[in-house]
Chain A
C-alpha cells in the first residue's frame, strides 16, 4: 500500500486547559500528555467533558484558559482548518449531496491551487483510502446508499485524506450495532498501525476503551481522574474509576 506515514506523528500536550459553557464548567484545569503514535482513549460518563477535551484538541472549541501543543507547536489559537488533524464524528457528518469519492477528496479539493494534487492524483488517493477502509469501488455511491458502518469507514477515509498527524474520533462507534462495532474496531486498530498516526478517541464504553487503546484517560465531571494502561486502570484504587468500571 502506498501510504507513507505522515512526516511526524506528533505528540499532543494539553496544559491546564479550562473551558466553561454558559452554565457549567466542562473542563477544569485539565493537563494531559499523549505520545507520538500513541492510541489514547478518553473515557467517562456523559457530562464528564471528554468530548469537550477532544474538541479543544481539534480546535473546534477554544479553551478559556490553558494551552494545546502539537509537538512543540503551540496550536491553542490555531483554527481547526490549519491544525492538520483528522476528525471523525459520531454521526459521520458526511456530505449528503456528494458522492463517496467527492467526500473523501474534499480535504484535497479545498487546498490552495498551488498545493492541490492533480485530478488523477486525487482519484488515486481516493482509491487508496477506499482500499484502506475496505470499500474498494464505492466511489460513485452516495452516503444515503450506505450502511452506518460503511458511512463511518468513509468518514474515516475522508479524515485521513490529507495525511493528518493526529486522528481524533468522537464516539466513532456510538451509532452502530455491536457486530459492526467490533468489525470497525479491528479496522481502526489496523489503520492506526499501518498509517502510524497519533489517535485519540472518545467513548463511554470501558470495554471499547480497554480493547482498543494503549492508554486510557478517565474523566469525571471536568477533571482527569486517572490515566493509565488498561491493566493499570483495572487495578486502580481511585474510587471514581472503580465505580465507573463496575
Chain B
C-alpha cells in the first residue's frame, strides 16, 4: 500500500536518504568485512589454510569451541530459569533482579574480567585458598568460562522475559489443572512455547561467547596454544605483524558472524511474531 503522494517525501529526497544509508552501511559493515577476506586471502588459499591449520591456531579454535560449549548451555539454563521466575511469579526484589540481569551489558568487559582476577587471581580474595589446593582459575579454562558466562549472561534471559510475560500463565495453569506435574508442564507446554525465542537468544549468546575479547583477554594470560581463544589469537598474530595469519583466523570469526546473521534473519522471517515481544 503506497502512501498518498502528498504525504510522502519528494522522490529525490527519498533516493538521497536511501543512498546515504547504503553508503554508510557499505563503509561501516561491508568494507571491513571485505577487507578481512581480502587480507586473509592475499597470499592465496594455501596460505590461508596453513594459517588456520597451524597448531596454535587449531588450539585457539578448540579452546573457543570449548569455552562457548560450556558457557552457552550454562547461560541457556540460567536464562530460562531467570525468565521463568521473573515472568511467572511475583516476589520481592523482582525489579532488582531484572536490573542485575542487564548489568553485564552496562559494565565494560574489561572490568568484568578484572572482577574475576580480583576474586580468583593469585593476589585475589580466594587466591591463596585456591593456590593451596592447586586449583587454577585465572590464566586457565575455568577463568575463561567464568568471564564468558558473565559477559553473555543477559542474552537468553533478555530475549525470554518479555516473551514469557506476554504469554502469561494461562497455558501453564491449564496444563496443571489437567493433572500435569511442574516438570511435565515445563517440557510439554512452556518450552515449546518459547523455543524460537530461546533459539534466538542462544544464537546471539553464542556469537558473543565466541567473539568476546575484553573480559577474556584479562583472565587469559595469553599463553599461546593454551589459553588463547580465537579473538586473542588474532591479536597476538597481528601484533607479530603476521597479517595473513591474523586475518585468516579473523575470517573464521567473520564467517561465524555471517552464519549467525543468516540464522537470525531466518528466525526473524519465519517466527517474527514470537520474537517481536522482546523488541518492544
Contact = CB atoms under 8 A, between A and B. Distances in A.
A111 B180 CA distance: 7
B118 interface: no
A93 B173 contact: yes
B173 A81 contact: no
A159 B175 CA distance: 10
A106 B173 contact: no
Contact of A60 (B90, B171, B173): B173
B108 interface: no
Interface string A142-176: 00000000000001001101100000000000000
B123 interface: no
Nearest to B171: A93
Given A96-B193, A97-B193, A162 B174 contact: no
A110 B189 contact: no
A81 B193 contact: no
B177 A81 contact: yes
Contact of A107 (B170, B171, B179, B181): B179
Interface string B162-185: 000000001101111111110010
A162 B193 contact: no
Contacts of B177: 58-60, 80-81, 85-87, 159
Contacts of A106: 175, 178, 180, 188
A93 B180 CA distance: 15
Contacts of A158: 174, 178
B181 A95 contact: no
Tell me whether chain B's interface is mostly helix, strand or loop, or mixed.
helix
Interface in A154-210: 155, 158-159, 161-162
Tell me whether chain A's interface is mostly helix, strand or loop, or mixed.
loop
B262 to A, nearest CB: 25
A129 B128 CA distance: 68
A42 to B, nearest CB: 17
Interface string A75-111: 0000111100111010101111100000000110011
B4 interface: no
B128 to A, nearest CB: 47
A68 B189 CA distance: 28
Given A95-B189, A97-B192, A110 B181 contact: yes
B236 to A, nearest CB: 47
9 contacts: A91-B170, A94-B171, A96-B193, A106-B188, A107-B179, A107-B180, A110-B178, A110-B181, A158-B174
Identify the 7 closest CB pairs spanning chains A and B, nearest first: A107-B178, A93-B170, A87-B177, A93-B174, A110-B180, A97-B192, A110-B184
Given A93-B173, A110-B180, A162-B178, 15 more contacts: A80-B176, A80-B177, A81-B177, A89-B170, A91-B170, A93-B170, A94-B171, A94-B174, A95-B174, A95-B192, A97-B193, A106-B178, A107-B179, A111-B179, A161-B178
